[in-house]
Amino acid sequence: MIPTLQTIADRVNVSRSTVSRVLNNKWKMYGISQATADKITSLAKELHYLKNEAARSLREKKTFTIGVIVRDITNPFYSQLVKFVESALYSKGYTIIICNTGYDLDRENGHINVLLSRRVDGIILSPIQKSIENIFKIKDRNVPLALFDCKIDDLEADYILVDNEAGTMEAVSYLIDQGHKKIVYIGGNPYDSNNRLRYAGYRNSLSLASISIPDHYVKHGNYSFKHGYEAATQLLRSNDVPTAFFAANNRIMLGACKGIMDCGLQIPDDISIVGFDDFETATMLPSPLTVIRQPLREMALNAVDLLLSRIEKANNIPYMTSMLKTEFVIRNSTKNLN
Amino acid sequence: MIPTLQTIADRVNVSRSTVSRVLNNKWKMYGISQATADKITSLAKELHYLKNEAARSLREKKTFTIGVIVRDITNPFYSQLVKFVESALYSKGYTIIICNTGYDLDRENGHINVLLSRRVDGIILSPIQKSIENIFKIKDRNVPLALFDCKIDDLEADYILVDNEAGTMEAVSYLIDQGHKKIVYIGGNPYDSNNRLRYAGYRNSLSLASISIPDHYVKHGNYSFKHGYEAATQLLRSNDVPTAFFAANNRIMLGACKGIMDCGLQIPDDISIVGFDDFETATMLPSPLTVIRQPLREMALNAVDLLLSRIEKANNIPYMTSMLKTEFVIRNSTKNLN
DNA sequence: ATGAAAGCGCTAACAC
DNA sequence: GTGTTAGCGCTTTCAT
């Protein structure tokens, strides 16, 4: 039998209210006697009393729960995000429900329903973006929402972003400075805002250098190892072999590297590569990879701060966008052609 | 204003109960008229009614929530576990609360309190094991518990395990067959059951081959990149350089590989290495790594099955242990000395 | 310095 | 075929 406030009240011969006040550390302001308070706290300890959170939530209309919806928890980008978010929220007394969509829109929809049904206090969402109907369901309910790692035009909300375009331009310009002209863009899902902005950065850099881009140098697809692998091998075996790859995320980059290796080529001697996201393996390859690092810890903390300020302070503060700079980490995966 | 059963009841001019019965698809067994049912369902849809789970949980004493406590969510071993577990539980209508301990016992304790307070229906726990007091708190409350990836002697519970000892013996014997005699064990936390069993496997194999183990060939420590790195570099720079490393997990193995590279040595020409856990990077290195793979998907599904059968069927079934075999994946990180 | 009572939103036993 | 009622465990207003 799990003890409730009543259990304790009965044994100490006081009312539920008194027990509640004591256990919530409000007995001083109610002027409850030291003696009563002590009896209650020690009995609670003895019985291993733990407040029923479902009851508290129902009464208070506050769950201290945040839903975190990510697209692929096995991608280190997201697992690190979860780690930082979980840690920050834990220290504030919040608990997180984790939802993995695997880039599946129905899943995203289902998870959002579950989270709304559970009356979470807020949601951190890294949306698929194939359709944004799901997002409106959250907005309609006025549930605080932090959109993570995506920018949807004409959708007012709180955003946590990095400057994708500038970050990409820094990397691609670096390739151009090293004399590269045949630079391939291996991209992610075409409807994804990151992909679009990274692609825009790529085009800008090449355009500024007056380098034209043949159609077959642009390989949109999806954020997978497989896509990176296939795009890389296909191009390396074509009759117009590029000198450099730009990979739109860590999964694609890893796949491309594997493709390069399987074609019997060396990075950076035979082919150069740069890409988005820093990841552990990047430093483990024979030639460590030059990458665009996203400040994940800061992004996670900003997401939490943004959400909590909306939850705890007022919901009438204006929408905010946290746009952080990326960091270009130069290692050794590009060759200077000059 | 969020709609409740009462909102709908008022508008359709029926009672809460009727609405509840309809929305729970029980109207046939209660003989509620088609017409009423239709009116209710369509109004619910129109109002975007979503059941308040806190209220349902309180009433039903069932939360459809499972707590998952892992030691490091950024380790692909755990992030994949979470992915599989989440997916399996989602399809059964359960939601997961994720708890990351970072090998910190206080965290583990705090998280367990939170989960118990939230009256989760079950817990999947990958415990730190430095102390097992925390685990008893769960057992005392009779909350279904699946202990994942650890075996605690004298603690009756449901376990999800792999055969660590046999898996290790297979790998170490393979090294011995290839003529290795100077094999170093780079281990994890000394109080960890996996580490102890893997170490036992290592000792057994060497003992069967009548090879003695000098003390400085055994490097217990913790499951970190750093420990792997330091152990490897220290030994490679000593005056008794081994011919092979056994790494007790993926983090240690990666660290050791980096250490080997930083010492200017080649795998497998200069030094051989095998280790526990398969991971993506293992196939990306110049010489792909020979590893002991754990059947993570099956482990995750078994954990879910075990937990759900205890939750949904009866709590009086005997404790069970799911002990799966590992798979020895031979790649190219060992040299045949014969 | 403490208690009584109401109510959060839901389900189900019992009533008619 | 549907309503009434009680109660899950908690917090808080109001009363004394």
At A178-207, the pLDDT tens digits run 999 999 999 999 999 999 999 999 999 999
Q: Kindly list the structural domains of chain A, giving each domain's residue range(s) and its CATH number in brackets, ordered by start.
A: 5-47 (no CATH), 61-162+296-325 (3.40.50.2300), 164-294 (3.40.50.2300)
Rounded CA-CA distance A333/A171 in Å is 12
pLDDT at A28: 83
Residues 6+ apart with CB under 8 A from B303: B85, B124, B146, B148, B160, B322
Find the helix or strand (DSSP H, E) in which A313 lies. Answer: none
Q: What is the pLDDT of residue B315?
A: 65
Q: Are strands B290-293 and B327-329 parallel, antiparallel or unpaired?
A: antiparallel
Instruction: State which residue of chain A sits closest to B137, comparing Cα positions.
Output: A48
Cα→Cα distances B313→A207, B8, B116, B143, B305, Å: 65, 34, 20, 14, 11
| Nearest protein residue, CA measured to C1' of C5 | A17
CA–CA distances in Å: residue B254 to residues A284, B14, B175: 8, 65, 19
How many residues in total does chain A contain? 338
Helix (H, G, I), strand (E, B) or coil at B241: coil
Distance from CA of B52 to the nearest CA of A (A): 5
Task: Report the distance separating Cα B317 and Cα B338, nearest Å.
Answer: 52
Tokens of A252: 């694609």
A336 has a pLDDT exceeding 70: yes
For chain A, what percent of residues have pLDDT higher than 90?
93
This prediction's pTM: 0.95
pLDDT at B276: 97
Query: pLDDT for A11-54, tens place per residue?
Result: 999 999 999 999 999 888 888 889 899 999 999 999 999 999 99
Distance between CA B206 and CA B134 in Å, rounded?
36
CB contact under 8 A, B95 and A76: no
Across all residues in chain A, what is the average pLDDT? 95
Categorize the per-residue pLDDT at A315 as very low, low, confident or very high, splitting at 50, 70 and 90: low
Query: Over the stretch B2-57, which tens digit does the pLDDT of each residue have?
Result: 999 999 999 999 999 999 999 999 888 888 888 899 999 999 999 999 999 999 99
Task: Indicate if CB(A51) is under 7 A from strand D.
Answer: yes
Burial degree of B34 (CB within 10 A; 0-12, 13-18, 19+): exposed
Report how far residue B40's alpha carbon sits from residue B5's, in angstroms, rounded to the nearest whole number: 10
Flag if A58 and B54 touch (Cβ within 8 Å): yes
Strand arrangement of the beta sheet that strand A183-186 belongs to:
A218-219, A183-186, A244-247, A272-276, A290-293, A327-329
- Per-residue model confidence (pLDDT) at position A312: 85
Of A220-224, A239-243, B314-318, the range with the lowest mean pLDDT is B314-318
| The pLDDT of residue B313 | 75
Nearest-CA residue of chain A relative to B104?
Answer: A87
Q: What element of type H or E holds B218?
A: strand B218-219
Please give the structure tokens belonging to residue B222.
């913790």
Chain B residues within 8 A of A90 when measuring between CB atoms: 107, 110-111
Give the one of B53, B73, B284 whose C-beta lies nearest to A118's C-beta.
Answer: B53
Task: Render pLDDT for B284-329 as a digit per residue (tens, 0 to 9).
Answer: 998 999 999 999 999 999 999 999 999 987 667 889 999 999 999 9
Angle in degrees, CA A56, A49, B89, rounded to 5:
65
Token digits of residue A115: 């989270």
Å between A137 CA and C11 C1'?
Answer: 27
Q: Is the pLDDT of residue A63 over 80?
A: yes
- pLDDT, average across residues A195-221: 97
CB A144 within 8 Å of CB A157: no
Cβ of A6 near strand D (under 7 Å)? The reply is: yes
Q: Is there contact between A2 and strand D, defined as CB under 7 Å from any strand atom? A: yes
**B16-23 and B34-46 helices cross at what angle (nearest 10)?**
80
Tokens coding A8? 């304790």
CB A322 within 8 A of CB A159: yes
Report whether pLDDT(A295) > 70: yes
Average pLDDT, chain B: 95
CA distance from start to end of chain B:
78
Q: Are A168 and A292 in contact (CB under 8 A)?
A: yes
pLDDT band at A227 (very low <50, low <70, confident <90, very high): very high
The upper half-sphere exposure of residue A88, i.e. CA atoms within 13 Å in the direction of its Cβ, equals 19
Distance from CA of B96 to the nearest CA of A (A): 6
Instruction: Determine the residue of chain A that is closest to B49 in CA distance.
Output: A117
Optimal mutation site among B87, B113, B116, B117, interface A, most CBs of chain A within 10 A: B117
Look at residue A116 in the predicted model and tell me its pLDDT: 98
Q: Do B98 and A116 touch (CB under 8 A)?
A: no
Length B46 CA → D3 C1' (Å): 25
Type of residue at A291: V
Note whether B97 and B67 are within 8 A (CB).
Answer: yes
The strand pair at A244-247 and A272-276 is best described as parallel
Nucleotide nearest to B5 (CA to C1'): C9
Give the residue among A186, A235, A185, A176 at the shortest CA–CA distance from A210. A176
Give how far Cα B42 sits from Cα of A109, B8, B33, B48, Å: 20, 10, 14, 10
pLDDT at residue B169 tops 90: yes
A314 confidence band (pLDDT: 50, 70, 90): low
A48 interaction partners in chain B (CB closer than 8 Å): 137, 140-141
Question: pLDDT tens, B135-161?
Answer: 999 999 999 999 999 999 989 999 999
Strand order in the sheet with B145-148: A321-324, A158-162, A145-148, A122-125, A65-70, A95-100, B95-100, B65-70, B122-125, B145-148, B158-162, B321-324
B262 within 8 A of B237, measured Cβ to Cβ = no
Q: Which DSSP string corresponds to A181-240?
A: --EEEE---TT-HHHHHHHHHHHHHHHHTT----GGGEE---SSHHHHHHHHHHHHTSSS
Beta bridge partners of A328: A292
Sign of CA dihedral B14, B16, B17, B20: positive
Query: DSSP secondary-structure letter at A326?
Result: P
The strand order across the sheet containing B272-276 reads B218-219, B183-186, B244-247, B272-276, B290-293, B327-329
Of all residues in chain A, the one with the smallest CA distance to B65 is A97
